[in-house]
Every structure is written in structure tokens, then in C-alpha cells.
Structure 1
């Protein structure tokens, strides 16, 4: 927390990171099924993904406490080689933070960006909602 008892701006980034990791690995991993040929699909983002950009609007101070907050996450932009996740950090119906993160799929072995796989795109499309996007300044 900061000197005023607010959740520090860096901690907000950590909240977003925890939500993003849960979404891209646990939720995406649970969505993996079998292909038409009977083989198992590779888990989404297994070969890697990197954060290319964060944008955060702090709408009101969030005071430090021990109760959890809610981080809602959805996809607002889906390109061939990037995805934009939008978030709201909420508590008790109030929105404290709106943010966006641009994620780039990455080939860790080749050390370079790559395109989304068909499985990744299919998973992300299930969470696509640009009508619920944050204000136009994020676009």
C-alpha cells in the first residue's frame, strides 16, 4: 500500500497479471479438447506469450484490506498475432481500475513473435466482446 493506505499502482498490475495468467493458462488449459482426428490439442499459449503493452486508468482509490477484489477479463481485440485483454478491477459493484493489455504470442525457442494458433484463436473468440470495451480512449 502507499502512504495513504491505498493499493499501490504496481499492485494493481500484479492483480491484472494474476487474472491474465489464470485466464491464459488455467481457463485456456481446461478448454483444450480432442481434435477431429482424435489427437489431443496442444494447450493454448504453451509455446509462449509476452506482454507488449499495458494501459491503466485508475478511476478511484482502492484502500488496502484483506478481502479479495474481482478482476473481470475479456477480449476486445483479436488480430493474427496479438490479442487485447480488457479488465475491470471491481469491488462491491464499484469499478476502481480499467485496463488493457496487449499480448503477443511468442515462440520461446525461436525467440520471436508468432501468430495465434487455431486453438488459441478459438479459445479467445469465446471471450470476445468489443461492445463491453472500455471507453474509446483505449482503442
Structure 2
């Protein structure tokens, strides 16, 4: 299983009054990694993959450790745990070499902006997503993220 690796810089404005990355900022980090994954990495030369738009249907985040200000970027690993006809679930770990700070998932729905409605995942998009798919389950039956 391949994972997309995105190095996300921490900005001074990301911190709360206690010097931790604010919980809402984690959503921005996930978004930056997801955009890099779906809109920079996926399309390739001349491809229209994912360019029609997408919307987030759901976020779920487990905050595991506080992330404090530092000069080194944090790594956001991204992979796919589920693909249906008209949605995908993207999983993430926000981490560095020693620590996982958060685990998260996002349900993304491809969207036709011109028509104002969801659309199906194209065969080209599905082929790309399958390269990053890992839907293995842990011992409790939950998706291992």
C-alpha cells in the first residue's frame, strides 16, 4: 500500500494561547495534504481527474498528542480506505518520526460544480485511488488508520 506524504509547515498563527496547534488548524493541514494528493499528484499530464470539484461530506479526527510550535514541518500521510461509486474515504496520520499527533478520515464526494450536484468517480480517478487504497481492518473490526 502506498501512502502520499505531504510535509506541512507550522505557522505562528496556527498556535493557540497555550502554544499548541489549534484543533481547527488540523483540518487545514488535512485539507492541504488532500489537495496536494488529489489535485497535484493525481491528475498528471493533461488529465481532468478531480478537476470538476469535490465536497467534504464528513471529517473525523482523533487528537492523540499536542503538537507544539517548531520550525520543522509536520508530515501528513494520506491514503484511501474506501471507494464507492460516488465517494471515497481518505485517511490520514499527522506525524513526525517519533510521534503520531492525530489520525483522521474524510469522506469526499466528487461534485459537478456546473450542475450543482454530486457525480460518480471516473475510471481514471478510481485507478489512481486504488494505488493508495488500504482498507485493512484492525482486530476490533475498525478500519486501521
Interval containing the TM-score (normalised by the shorter chain) = 0.7 to 0.9
Which of residues 34, 56, 59 is equivalent to 1:20? 34
Alignment TM-score, normalising by the size of structure 1: 0.86
Aligned to 1:36: none
* More contact order relative to length (CA 8 Å, sep ≥ 6): 2
Alpha-carbon distance between aligned partners in 2 of 1:116 and 1:62, rounded to the nearest angstrom = 35
2:77 match: secondary structure? strand
Which of residues 88, 104, 110 is equivalent to 1:83? 88
C-alpha displacement at 1:28, in angstroms? 0.2
Q: What do residues 65-117 of structure 1 show as CA deviations (whole Å, max 9, x unaligned)?
A: 22101000000011000000000000123110000000000000000001101
CA contact (8 A) 1:5 1:64 kept: yes
2:42 match: secondary structure? helix
Aligned to 1:43: 48
Alpha-carbon distance between aligned partners in 1 of 2:105 and 2:83, rounded to the nearest angstrom = 13
| Cα RMSD for the two superposed structures | 2.0
Aligned to 2:4: none
How many residues align structurally?
129
Which segments of 5 or more consecutive residues in structure 2 lack a partner in the other structure? 1-14
Do structure 1's residue 64 and structure 2's residue 66 form an aligned pair? no
C-alpha displacement at 1:138, in angstroms? 8.3
Alignment TM-score, normalising by the size of structure 2: 0.82
C-alpha displacement at 1:132, in angstroms? 7.1
Larger radius of gyration: 1
